[in-house]
Structure 1
Amino acid sequence: MPAISRGEVSYITGAASGIGRALASMLVGQGGLVVIADLNGEAAAGYAAELNEKAGTVVAISVKADTTVWEDQLAGFQQATTAFKRIDYVFANAGIAEHPWLPPFNPETAAERPLVKPDLATASINLTGQLYTASLAFQTFERQDIGPEGFRGKLILTASVFGYFPSRAMPLYAASKAGIINFMRSAAQYYADKHITVNAISPNLVDTPIAPDVLFVPFRERKLLSDLQLVLDQFGKVLGESTLNGQALSISQENVWVHPADTYMLEKNGPACDLISVEIFKLFGDRTN
């Protein structure tokens, strides 16, 4: 299993709890340095202090950041590069469960209710927030030298199996995760020759604080939760000298797979899709082929 090199730096959003917290512990255990970025600044600071006390030296710093606020994220990256000089891995991990975006469907009462503005919080955090993180990752990597493993940096996004599968109860969650998957695949192609890799880890439901505990009860009873260690193992596959790029590493219970890209009708659409990239690069003044 690939691993980070001692002293390499990882920036992790949503790192004060759940998958992000477990990931930070794993990376410190491999000899890495971590930036614990989280909306809950107190929890982030507490966890960083815990990691430092256990290590007997500074292996972690904390950043309070709302990932939907560009200025928060910019300040966090600046704090990280000031403290550790470079960032080798960025884990765009912060996310939330579905928030109802519209009132429940009820034709009997609809006429009595006003038309309401949708709640897009799920998409804002799970898509826009991760794109802010990604944008800062790429610009940070661009400004630093190639590291000992041959990379300027690696971006790993936390997606979900709902990036491929629809959910009648979670339309915004599914939409945001599908957006992350296609963004990952597209960005991986763009950065493939720039010493930067982009991958996504896509678990099914994992027992974390992302939702009220009552939600997990029937999943525990039917043994339908995905194993956190298997999730961490997939993160591990893209670290260090790994050349994996553009992959959606997926986990559901004990099942692990690389989810394939959709190629239906690609042969017919390929020439137009390729040409539009060439022409848009020209339009944007980008020298990428």
Structure 2
Amino acid sequence: MAGRVALVTGGTSGIGAASAEALLAAGYRVAANFGANEAAARAFLGRTGIPVFSWDVADGAACIAGVEAVEKALGPIDVLVNNAGITRDAMLHKMDAGQWKQVMDVNLGGCFNMCRAVIEGMRARRFGRVINISSVNGLSGQAGQTNYAASKAGIIGFTKSLALEGASRNITANVIAPGYIDTPMVAAVPAAVMDDILKTVPAGRLGRPEEIARAVVFLAADEAGFITGITLSVNGGKYLG
């Protein structure tokens, strides 16, 4: 794995930042994508030295240009971690079409856009590791998140299909489905709601971003070439499906 290039979307905060740092520590050359938070990205760059690149994963043309920029700077992308994601929570009877479309475009559309931008190169080089970040709520569902849960469940089906397409060329595609992790996204959940959620987690706590990053590094390894099409749940026992 020494010298392999890894790209992490949504890679300057939360799970993405932890994954980028863990890959760097494991010997990868790492790039981190971010969307709009320039200040956080610059702080991440200053702290880690990992180069940062800004584009909207919901924009297919921007993803192609972004991948080209990363590859010009670091070399061909061997490992893609699709971590970028958003929430626009509402009960379905109050959800508007914009809330649905935004989440689907970023979470599921972004997964397609990024995989499409790297897959031909991976096929030509006969190596690739695609790691798509889903969610426990894509497995179990969650009230108020029909859009988010659908996007994250869609990632699982997408990944299984990509795994079948890539296996003969040493390209693996796997999913990590985190539970509730101590990130800025989860921090936005009202305290009373979070208290109720934690009661359903046998481990009795939020996960740490570093615990997801450990799974990312495991699946990214050259030695993980016989693992493909799986969903690795890292959720403290919240959902055992």
- TM-score under structure 1 length normalisation: 0.72
Q: Give the aligned partner of residue 40 of structure 2.
A: 43
Q: Distance in 1 between matches of 2:198 and 2:97?
A: 37
Q: 1:214 to 1:127 in 2, by over 3 A?
A: closer
- What does the per-residue CA deviation read over 1:31-73, in whole Å, with 9 as the maximum and x for residues that have no partner? 2211110002443233223222xxxxxxx32110111112221
Distance apart, 1:224 and its partner CA: 4.4
Aligned partner of 2:71 in structure 1 is: 81
Task: Give the C-alpha shift of residue 102 in structure 1.
Answer: 5.5
**1:84 aligned partner, one-letter code:** L
Could you tell me which of 50, 54, 75 is aligned with 1:64?
54
Q: Which has the larger helix fraction?
A: 2
1:142 correspondence with 2:123: yes
Offset of 1:252 from its aligned partner?
A: 1.4
Counterpart CA distance in 1 for 2:102 and 2:71 is 29
Q: 1:51 to 1:118 in 2, by over 3 A?
A: closer
Deviation at 1:6, TM superposition (A): 2.3
Contact 1:18-1:208 within 8 A present in 2 as well = yes
Aligned AA for 1:24? Answer: A
Instruction: Report the equivalent of 1:30.
Output: 26
- 1:215 maps to 190
Equivalent runs, 1:73-152 vs 2, <5 Å: 73-100=63-90, 104=94, 117-119=97-99, 120-143=101-124, 145-146=125-126, 152=127
Q: 2:75, 2:188 → 1: CA distance?
A: 39
Matches within 5 A, 1:263-274: none
Instruction: Give structure 2 stretches of 5+ with no counterpart.
Output: none
Which residue type is aligned with residue 121 of structure 2? T
The reply on whether 1:182 has 2:157 as its aligned counterpart is: yes
Structure 1: gaps of 5 or more residues: 53-59, 106-115, 147-151, 260-289
CA RMSD of aligned residues (A): 2.4
Asked whether the equivalents of residues 11 and 91 of structure 1 are also in contact (C-alpha less than 8 Å), the reply is yes
Q: Does 1:170 align with 2:152?
A: no
| CA gap 1:102/1:165 in 2 versus in 1, 3 angstroms | closer
| Identity in percent | 27
- Aligned mates of 2:75, 2:143 — CA distance in 1: 45
Does structure 1 retain, via aligned residues, the 8 Å contact 2:172–2:228?
yes
Aligned-partner residue type, residue 137 of structure 1: V
Structure with the larger RCO, 1 or 2 (CA within 8 Å, 6+ apart): 2
Identify the residue that residue 242 of structure 1 maps to in structure 2: 224
Whether the 8 Å contact between 1:41 and 1:63 is mirrored in structure 2 is no
Contact in 2 for aligned 1:155/1:199 (Cα 8 Å)? yes
Deviation for aligned residue 1:254: 5.6
The answer to which of 91-100 and 77-86 deviates more is: 91-100
The CA deviation string for residues 208-264 of structure 1, in whole angstroms up to 9 with x for no partner, is 01244453552686434234333222223212221210010001126797x6xxxxx
The alpha-carbon distance between structure 1 residues 221 and 161, as it changes in their structure 2 partners (threshold 3 A), is closer
TM-score by length of 2: 0.86
SS at match of 1:94: coil
Q: Count the aligned residue pairs.
A: 231
Q: Which amino acid aligns with 2:11?
A: A
Distance change (3 Å), C-alpha of 1:156 and 1:214: closer
Structure of higher CA gyration radius: 1
Deviates more, 1:192-201 or 1:231-240: 231-240
- Would the aligned equivalents of 1:12 and 1:36 in 2 still touch at CA under 8 Å? yes
